[in-house]
């Protein structure tokens, strides 16, 4: 059995192991369906009908061949809920990445609002001709709300990552956000949504790492802070606001930058990596799903990729940096050129 196939079996187990509703009574099932319909009506009535501008183009003023960043996924990658391209996660990451690398970054957004994991294949097909150096994927929320079988979601995501890595791209996946923070969702559906989304995030992590990509947990980023700060949501109370997307971009940036070797070691100085940060992938995925901004990537122990309990994985938690807007980054570049 290959590393990837073994990890995919673990991914299925990560979701199904004690995560379902069990033998829920008919009354509870009826209540959950009623709450789901009510929440969907409320969200849809307030959700913007148009996506923000793509923001596709070149960022930064450095020399050298531009780094190509492709952004794939659903409305969280699109930035639905804001009006300016400069407030979308792809543009925020592209501008900050150009500053870190001291090279221009060409960003191409291929994400589509409403996309599910099954739609990634078409996005990958569009991305490959762009020859991206690094691909940032944000996906999973619509798989939960559409009640897609988690094994199906994970399989499509794994296939997308495999194709991209096989083409020489670095891949960083922001896993399924914590849908238990969505205000239009009432209890007990909110508790169920949290459990489903976190377990899908864990399963995504196992599958992505097995294919050679990295994951970053967005669950907690869009979790406790969102639950306590109304300003992080857009008017539909489902999608993030501009500060919310900036928070997500700040968590994604270190992993995107590190994957292509431009994240400064000094930025991690003072962050003590504990001995238990290398774990079997299933344990690493479960821990990452509930901890803000945790990155999981493949690793080796004594030259071995796998142990008795499956592939090895390394967990890292970095401080989210302050992300400048593209205009701020441009002003800083001009100031540097004048001095």
Which residues participate in catalysis according to the annotation?
A: 75, 236, 239
The closest alpha carbon to 134, from 264, 302, 310, 263, belongs to 263
CA 163 to chain centre: 18
Going 310 to 316 to 320 to 324, the CA torsion angle's sign is: negative
Give phi and psi for 173, each to the nearest 5.
Answer: -110, 125
Question: In whole angstroms, what is the distance from residue 121 CA to residue 265 CA?
Answer: 34
Question: In whole angstroms, what is the distance from residue 339 CA to residue 326 CA?
Answer: 20
CA 170 to chain centre: 14
Beta strand 310-317 with 278-280: parallel, antiparallel or unpaired?
Answer: antiparallel
Question: In whole angstroms, what is the distance from residue 228 CA to residue 25 CA?
Answer: 32
Give phi and psi for 33, each to the nearest 5.
Answer: -65, -40
Q: Strand, helix or coil at 279? A: strand
Residue 107 neighbours by CB under 8 Å, 6+ apart: 55, 56, 57, 58, 59, 69, 70, 71, 90, 91, 93, 94
Q: Strand, helix or coil at 270? A: coil
Question: In whole angstroms, what is the distance from residue 126 CA to residue 129 CA?
Answer: 6
Residue 161 neighbours by CB under 8 Å, 6+ apart: 137, 171, 173, 207, 208, 211, 212, 213
Segment (H or E) for 106: strand 105-109
Residue 187 neighbours by CB under 8 Å, 6+ apart: none
First to last CA, the chain: 59
* Cβ contact 107:71 at 8 Å: yes
């Amino acid at each position: 059995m290959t590393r990837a196939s073994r990890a995919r079996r673990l991914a299925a187990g990560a979701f199904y192991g004690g995560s379902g509703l069990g033998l829920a009574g008919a009354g509870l099932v009826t209540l959950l369906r009623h709450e789901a319909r009510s929440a969907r009506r409320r969200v849809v009535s307030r959700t913007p009908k148009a996506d923000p501008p793509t923001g596709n183009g070149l960022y930064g003023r450095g020399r050298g061949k531009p780094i190509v960043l492709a952004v794939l996924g659903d409305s969280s990658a699109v930035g639905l809920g804001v009006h300016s391209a400069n407030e979308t996660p792809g543009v925020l990451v592209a501008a900050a990445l150009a500053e870190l690398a001291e090279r221009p970054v060409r960003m191409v957004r291929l994400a589509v609002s409403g996309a599910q994991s099954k739609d990634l294949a078409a996005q990958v097909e569009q991305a490959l001709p762009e020859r991206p150096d690094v691909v940032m994927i944000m996906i999973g929320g619509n798989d939960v709300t559409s009640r897609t079988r988690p094994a199906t979601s994970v399989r499509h995501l794994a296939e997308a990552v495999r194709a991209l890595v096989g083409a020489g791209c670095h891949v960083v996946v922001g896993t399924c956000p914590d849908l238990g923070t969505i205000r239009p969702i009432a209890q007990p559906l909110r508790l169920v949504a949290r459990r489903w989304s976190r377990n899908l995030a864990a399963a995504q992590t196992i599958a992505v790492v097995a294919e050679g990509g990295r994951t970053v947990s967005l669950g907690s980023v869009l979790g406790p802070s969102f639950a306590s700060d109304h300003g992080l949501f857009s008017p539909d109370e489902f999608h993030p606001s501009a500060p919310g997307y900036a928070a997500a971009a700040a968590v994604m940036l270190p992993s995107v930058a590190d994957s292509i070797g431009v994240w400064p070691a000094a930025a991690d100085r003072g962050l003590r990596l504990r001995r238990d940060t290398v774990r079997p992938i299933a344990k690493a995925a479960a821990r990452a799903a509930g901890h803000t901004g945790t990155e999981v990537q493949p690793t080796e122990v004594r030259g071995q990729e796998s142990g008795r309990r499956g592939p090895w994985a390394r967990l890292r938690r970095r401080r989210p940096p302050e992300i400048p807007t593209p205009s701020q980054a441009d002003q800083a570049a001009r100031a540097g050129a004048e001095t």
